[in-house]
Amino acid sequence: MRRILKNKKSLVGVIILTFFAIVAIIGPLFTTYDPIISGSVPPGKMPIATSHCYPEWYRDFTGNEEYTKNLYVNPDPKFSDLSKLSLWKNVTTEGVQVNYNSNYGSSEKGCLEVAFTKEGNVTISMEFEYPYTIPPKMFAIDWRYLIQSQGSMPRGQSILLILINFTFDTPRGPKTYSASMPYWIDDFTSITSWISSPWHEASSTNPNLFIQYGKDPARVIFSKPRKYSFDFFVQLAGNTTGLENLKLLIDDVNIVIFGNSFGILGTDQLARDIFTQLIAGTQISFFIGIISALLGVGIGLLVGLIAGYIGGTTDEVLMRFTDMLLVLPTLPLLLVLVFVLGQTMFNIILVVGVLGWMGFARTVRSAVLSLKERAFIEAVKAAGGGRIYIIRRHIIPNVFPLIYVTLAMSVPGAIVSEAALSWLGLGPADVMSWGRILYEFQRSGNVALGALQFWYWVIPPGLCIALLSLSFVLLGYALDEILNPRLRER
């Protein structure tokens, strides 16, 4: 280890390798998003951002005001901080009260409580400011509710209406934009647990918004910087016979106005966080590279030892089989085998490892042919040492320097092979690797626009593949210099 750290090549390799090892180990602690699911969240949940977002820091770096960040209107969606409850204002009619309920909550205790003692309505609002001159790409709202009542009502009647609006002042008076279709709640007897409302996306996929504001409601509502008010309008009306002390509990109110920049490395075409994908790819590349290299080196060591020490017909058969595999084109064979076996991480490790042992087997065979003629091997034979004993105690220790060097040099080949398979669409389908990130870029159809326009998507995984491979190559060259007697003498 002292020699490795004194060697300049290996020192650089160790530093790079240590960096990626730290990222692979502790990186997932800082990334809570999913690298594969669209939007980086489970289906039906609000996405973390829109597609093709630039990194957030790019706005500050370039000073370009056209890059906007996500604006989170509600700073305390779970209502866990009492100090932020003052941000919410309410206007009620007689018989309606808005309170803070510390005993209930969707995911943790704390929620807003709207209590009705008779028919009436309430407007719960929060003021905020949209600061950008560029309109957002879209906005979305989701929330959860629970209804409590001491009575019951006939099934199928709708008496509780909820409207979600955005309001701002104009010279002619307040102007209100409805952000959702009227949300009627009925059949209270079936509501016994927290219910998630469908998240309302302000885009052409929402027919009501499309009819009211055209194809791009976000640009209509948030057309310029101004102060807004987010409004929750709740009304109890209709036949309320049999209902007593009805309470509507509201929690997990997420209001997001999406910008065109997000996170450290932005998002891809499916609104997935690229930084999360990069961290996940570090783990996968490490795992596939090291396990594939160990498998290949293990097979090569076994074949080389048997062929070199036993010799004769065994040597001839094993070496001809090795030569046959050596002349086959590796990448086409990889493609065929992965296509036949299936796109799983286990199959890729198996294929890359099984097709990476031939060169090392011939190297070990050459070393064993030389070692078995040495005088100390003849002395062991004369003392009664058997084949297994000689191989285990004398041959293998003398070829260990070859194992160290070859193992270090094989990992980059395995990493690049996996990246090549993933880039061609034959990588592991259930995990995110660096090669798959490049494949997703290619599949998105943005290749025609040029990779430089999406540098935050293309350069990081490519750079990581190159640097991690370089670290093992430098370590391999340094080990060769340290362990090879001829190079050491020089």
Query: Tens of pLDDT along 155-180?
Result: 555 577 888 888 888 777 788 887 77
Do 144 and 45 touch, CB atoms closer than 8 A? no
Task: Check whether 489 has a pLDDT greater than 70.
Answer: no
d(C-alpha 78, C-alpha 265), whole Å: 28
Tell me the average pLDDT across 333-354: 88
Helix (H) or strand (E) holding 255: strand 246-258
More confident residue, 385 or 288: 288
d(C-alpha 59, C-alpha 191), whole Å: 46
Q: How many CB atoms lie within 10 A of CB 318?
A: 20
Q: Which of 224-228, 412-416, 448-452, 460-464 has the lowest mean pLDDT?
A: 448-452
326 and 211 both lie in a single domain: no
Q: Which two tokens stand for residue 86?
A: 């003052």
For residue 36, being part of any structural domain is answered with no
d(C-alpha 183, C-alpha 479), whole Å: 69
* Phi, psi of 238, rounded to the nearest 5 degrees: 110, -160
236 and 325 both lie in a single domain: no
Task: Check whether 458 has a pLDDT greater than 80.
Answer: yes
403 and 345 both lie in a single domain: yes
Of 228, 258, 288, the domain-final residue:
258
* Phi, psi of 181, rounded to the nearest 5 degrees: -70, 155
For residue 38, being part of any structural domain is answered with no
Burial 35-44 (b: 16+ CB within 10 A, else e): bbeebbeeee
Closest C-alpha to 16, from 359, 469, 487: 469
For residue 267, being part of any structural domain is answered with no
Closest C-alpha to 79, from 50, 104, 45, 116: 104
Confidence of residue 267 (pLDDT cuts 50, 70, 90): very high
343 and 439 both lie in a single domain: yes
| Structural domain count, the chain | 2
Helix (H) or strand (E) holding 53: none
Confidence of residue 205 (pLDDT cuts 50, 70, 90): very low
For residue 49, being part of any structural domain is answered with no
More confident residue, 463 or 451: 463
CA 306, chain centre distance (Å): 45
d(C-alpha 459, C-alpha 452), whole Å: 9
Task: Check whether 282 has a pLDDT greater than 70.
Answer: yes
Which range has highest mean pLDDT (241-245, 280-284, 397-401)?
Answer: 280-284
Q: What is the three-class DSSP state of 216?
A: coil
Closest C-alpha to 24, from 288, 268, 266: 288
Q: What is the three-class DSSP state of 456?
A: helix
376 and 483 both lie in a single domain: yes
Of 232, 258, 284, the domain-final residue:
258
Q: How many CB atoms lie within 10 A of CB 52?
A: 20
Do 316 and 434 touch, CB atoms closer than 8 A? no
Q: pLDDT for 1-20, tens place per residue?
A: 777 777 788 888 889 999 99
Q: What are the angstrom distances between the C-alpha of 426 and each of 116, 290, 367, 420?
A: 59, 20, 37, 9
Task: Check whether 29 has a pLDDT greater than 70.
Answer: yes
d(C-alpha 127, C-alpha 115), whole Å: 23
240 and 330 both lie in a single domain: no
Q: What pLDDT, on the 0 to 100 scale, is given for residue 116?
A: 86
Percentage of the chain beyond pLDDT 90 is: 24
Q: pLDDT for 127-155, tens place per residue?
A: 999 999 888 888 888 888 888 776 665 55
For residue 387, being part of any structural domain is answered with yes
94 and 165 both lie in a single domain: yes
Q: pLDDT for 305-332, tens place per residue?
A: 888 888 888 889 999 998 888 888 888 8
* Phi, psi of 165, rounded to the nearest 5 degrees: -130, 160
Confidence of residue 192 (pLDDT cuts 50, 70, 90): low
Tell me the average pLDDT across 40-46: 84
Closest C-alpha to 200, from 157, 151, 143: 143
Q: pLDDT for 358-377, tens place per residue?
A: 888 998 888 888 888 788 88
Of 208, 226, 258, the domain-final residue:
258
d(C-alpha 83, C-alpha 376), whole Å: 82
382 and 254 both lie in a single domain: no
Do 428 and 398 touch, CB atoms closer than 8 A? no
CATH code, 117: 2.60.120.260
Query: Which neighbouring-strand residues pair with 229?
Result: 127, 167
For residue 280, being part of any structural domain is answered with yes
331 and 459 both lie in a single domain: yes
250 and 104 both lie in a single domain: yes
Do 319 and 362 touch, CB atoms closer than 8 A? yes
388 and 468 both lie in a single domain: yes
More confident residue, 18 or 384: 18
More confident residue, 208 or 195: 195
221 and 302 both lie in a single domain: no
For residue 216, being part of any structural domain is answered with yes
Task: Check whether 465 has a pLDDT greater than 90.
Answer: yes
* Phi, psi of 447, rounded to the nearest 5 degrees: -60, -35
pTM score, two decimals?
Answer: 0.84
More confident residue, 330 or 258: 258
Give the mean pLDDT of the chain. 84
| Domain that includes residue 299, residue range | 274-489
Q: What pLDDT, on the 0 to 100 scale, is given for residue 125?
A: 92
Task: Check whether 278 has a pLDDT greater than 90.
Answer: yes
For residue 51, being part of any structural domain is answered with no
CATH code, 339: 1.10.3720.10
Percentage of the chain beyond pLDDT 70 is: 88
* Phi, psi of 162, rounded to the nearest 5 degrees: -125, 130
